[in-house]
A and B are shown apart, each in its own frame.
Chain A
Amino acid sequence: MSFVEYGDTIKDGDTAIVFLGHESMFPVKVQHGTVTQTKYGVIRHSTDLIGKKYGSKVTCSKGGWVFILHPTPELWTMNLPHRTQILYSTDISIITMMLELKPGSIVCESGTGSGSLSHALIRTVAPTGHLYTVEFHQQRAEKAREEFREHGVEHLVTVTNQDVCKNGFGVTNIADAVFLDIPSPWEAIGHAKSALKAEGGRICSFSPCIEQVQRTCLAMEEYGFTEINTLEILLRVYNVRTVSLQIPDLGKAAEDNSSTVFDSSSPSHQGSPCANLQQGTVQFKSGVPLREVVGHTGYLTFATKS
């Protein structure tokens, strides 16, 4: 296993994702002789995991079972130990596309934080690209290095422990793209410009507050960036439910109701709710928005150096 290459079977030293169902999962480091406790009982790595296929059902000691999944940056994002506020896959997706990242891209990032975005960037630029990530907090930088080693991607990433606003990215004229997620990104725009290739590249800055965005946009303009564009992306997740609504009793016979009120859905009419008349109710499938959703993560400002 590696975060940049699929493997079929679980091996000693792999990071695997234990899926308990219903969005509940956790990462586990596979090691001979180790046991992991779950609510369904114990998993013994040597016998239950090593050598098994990723995606198999593993029966725990209490008879319950879990699925073991191959790690991906997206699963890691949902399970990683938070050392900072992290970026989630919705933002990561648009960042990756708008920065035009692909295998071979050289990317600069700051701060590394918990490494949520870093893993996704490394996945996308592998096998020939590289990520230069800068983190001013020493322990966080160390922890990130350790994780990249464990996940088999250390050859694709360089972690530098310095202040990007003062000292920049430690590289010049080699990057295709720069990503900033720091409190004062406007102070790093100059460094970003010098890190980008002479022939140009893309930049993105993530900020929760509009005032930060304004200062960043001004700085970008000052340094001659073009195509400056700020956007925000929001995810809406839907629960799939079958809803039944009661038909009001208006004193008519039931058959009358069905023929006058409802245009019973013809099978050719795809995707229409199935009107099911049972005991005075109508049933249909619905995508119901969750009760609480994320309303704002941050603004993403993109620009081009050309």
Chain B
Amino acid sequence: KIIFEKQWFYLDNAIGHIYGTTFEVTSGGNLQPKQEVEETTTETKEAGTDNRNIVDDGKSQKLTHDDIKALKDKGIKGQEIVQQLIENSTTFRDKTEFAQDKYIKKKKKKYEAVITIVKPSTRILSTMYYAREPGKINHMRYDTLAQMLTLGNIHAGNKMIVMETCAGLVLGAVMERMGGYGSIIQMYPGGGPVRAATSCFGFPKPFFDNLHEFPLSKVQSLLSGTFSTETLPADPEENALLEEESNGLGEEKQNSLQETEEEPAPEAPMDINPAEEHDTMDINAEDVEFKENKEKENKESVREKQIKQWERRKKLKEAAALLREKNADGLIVASKFHPTPLLLSLLEFVAPSRPFVVYCQYKEPLLDCYTKLRERGGVINLKLSETWLRNYQVLPDRSHPKLTMSGGGGYLLSGITVLLEKGSPDPRNSEALKMEEPSSKRCKLQELPC
């Protein structure tokens, strides 16, 4: 049983229909109405020309609230309720044709509950997340995500590095574009990658065979050559709760120091039902339960844990080996962290002549990032950009822009890597450098998650 837009229903009846089928909700189940709904023919095509004589006295609708409620309770079809409302509206005939259209549309929306079931895709999910959970994806508008996929030349066969804190939406988008060909290394902060949105895509199992993950906290050691898999990053409980995406499997998420062994981080929630609504759990109750179950589980699952840990180490080694080759085909960054330190480190793993794209909700960090990249060298064609999206209503004699969405969709910094020559900085960039402020007064970077 799921709830959607103040309606609850069971999905059982939907099975076996093709994607794109529209359903009408009855009391608790799904009916399958015809694709083409018969247009309600308003036989009397009477309409006014303007609203000079329409007075808003609040009495134009002869049906009362109670009447309408009674109609609903009888379980009468929404279509008929709309028809009733039209017939009982004294002003309907005086309205212009356009206004009549609008009136009908509005009432239909309210009384005719229809649901279309569609296949998940980047288009659908990125639109949905931007509308419903923009905070979880750092307010990345779907057109911005589209730019990233293109600017990053994401395609089958790539070896990509992805660093995101967008609930796994960006990862899913990259996976869709790669179609299971090539490999992805996901860099994650904290105890494990968040892939709540990724699981909504419904990717086939093989897509995950070449998906690796690597903890951000190990990047420095990997770059300096002191990396070992002996100490895995701990999985602080608060991290999982902060993300609100905790999968609630029976994994211990206690980071207690008395423990002799490290806890394995929870697997990404790939094997549980992809629920689109994440309920915030009652933390305290969970805690108590954890403690009770812990002792039992500890005895039972020590071996299991060891196996898991060994597997995790193996995976970590694989990811480390892939990164060490320093020949990735691109880098995608979209996170809540400051982009500059991420970029300066992660670009080391990218081959020359490959595109990289950084998303940030704000312009200023990217200005800083631009400057620092110029100083570092090894990149060309740096571009700071933003897209605006405008939707249109297109109807005969009634076409106009709907709403402008500007700002709030985030910014992108993109560029191409080139072979970094140790030595003097690019003289042709000196002009750009001259425009930057003197280094003595430069802002100090603090790696704080904002």
Contacts and interface: CB of A to CB of B under 8 A. Distances in A.
Interface of A: 4-6, 8, 19, 21-23, 53-57, 67-70, 72-74, 89-90, 92-94, 96-98, 100, 102-104, 120, 123-124, 126-128, 199-200, 210, 213-214, 217-218, 224, 226, 228-242, 265, 267-268, 270-274, 276, 278, 283, 285-287, 299, 301, 304, 306
Interface in B347-390: 351-355, 362-368, 370-371, 380-381, 383-390
B269 to A, nearest CB: 23
Contacts of B21: 306
Contact of B147 (A53, A93, A218): A93
Contact of B151 (A6, A89, A240, A276): A89
A187 B149 CA distance: 32
Contact of B157 (A74, A127, A233): A127
Contact of A276 (B20, B390, B401, B441): B441
Nearest to B383: A237
A285 B441 contact: no
Contact of B371 (A55, A102, A240): A240
B217 to A, nearest CB: 20
Given A21-B380, A74-B150, A306-B18, 20 more contacts: A4-B156, A54-B353, A94-B143, A94-B147, A94-B389, A103-B177, A103-B178, A126-B156, A127-B156, A210-B394, A213-B399, A232-B401, A233-B388, A234-B390, A235-B387, A238-B386, A240-B384, A241-B435, A272-B443, A274-B442
Interface stretch (B186-194, B260-268, B416-424): B416-424
B106 to A, nearest CB: 19
Contacts of B35: 306
Nearest to B378: A55
Residue among B386, B395, B442, B444 with the highest chain A CB neighbour number at 10 A? B386
B123 A233 contact: no
14 contacts: A69-B353, A90-B387, A96-B146, A200-B20, A226-B20, A232-B389, A237-B383, A239-B384, A240-B370, A265-B443, A270-B448, A283-B437, A285-B371, A306-B35
Interface string B151-166: 1010111100000000
Those 9 A-B pairs whose CB atoms lie nearest each other, nearest first: A55-B352, A103-B179, A306-B20, A271-B364, A55-B353, A93-B150, A54-B353, A97-B146, A230-B392
A68 to B, nearest CB: 8
A56 B352 contact: yes
Contacts of B198: none
Contacts of B399: 210, 213-214
Given A57-B418, A230-B392, A102 B176 contact: yes
A184 to B, nearest CB: 16
B364 A285 contact: yes
B146 A94 contact: yes
Contact of B385 (A69, A235, A270, A271): A235
Contacts of A286: 367
Nearest to B329: A6
B20 A56 contact: no
Contacts of A8: 327, 351
B156 A267 contact: no
B419 A55 contact: yes
Interface in B312-336: 327, 329
B8 interface: no
A126 B367 contact: no
Contact of A69 (B156, B388, B416): B416
Interface in B158-208: 158, 176-181
Given A54-B352, A72-B355, A90-B147, A301 B394 contact: yes
B62 to A, nearest CB: 34
Contact of B153 (A73, A94, A214, A276): A73
Residue among B353, B396, B411, B418 with the highest chain A CB neighbour number at 10 A? B353
Contacts of A102: 176-177, 179
Contacts of A230: 391-394
Contact of A120 (B147, B150, B388, B396): B150
B436 interface: yes
Contact of B389 (A21, A233, A270): A233
A164 to B, nearest CB: 22
Interface string B36-56: 100000000000000000000
A226 B22 CA distance: 11
A53 B418 CA distance: 10
Q: Is the interface of A mostly helix, strand, loop or mixed?
A: mixed
B418 A236 contact: no
A281 to B, nearest CB: 11
A92 B450 CA distance: 33
Contacts of B121: 100
Contacts of B384: 237-240, 287
A65 B253 CA distance: 55
A73 B348 CA distance: 24
Contacts of A56: 352, 418-419
B338 interface: yes
Contacts of A22: 428
A94 B391 CA distance: 13
A217 to B, nearest CB: 5
B173 to A, nearest CB: 8
A242 to B, nearest CB: 5
B122 interface: yes
Contacts of A235: 385-387
Nearest to A77: B150
A97 B364 contact: no
Contact of A124 (B126, B177, B366): B177
Contact of A103 (B181, B383, B391, B417): B181
A306 B450 CA distance: 44
A226 B118 CA distance: 12
Contact of A104 (B19, B179, B389, B393): B179
B168 to A, nearest CB: 17
A238 B385 contact: yes
Contacts of A299: 392
A238 B146 contact: no
B142 interface: yes
A274 B179 CA distance: 44
B150 A96 contact: yes
Given A74-B150, A124-B155, A55 B417 contact: yes
Given A242-B437, A267-B446, A286-B367, A74 B329 contact: no
A279 to B, nearest CB: 12
Given A23-B381, A102-B177, A6 B158 contact: yes
B96 to A, nearest CB: 19
Given A5-B157, A287-B363, A214 B370 contact: no
Contacts of B142: 97
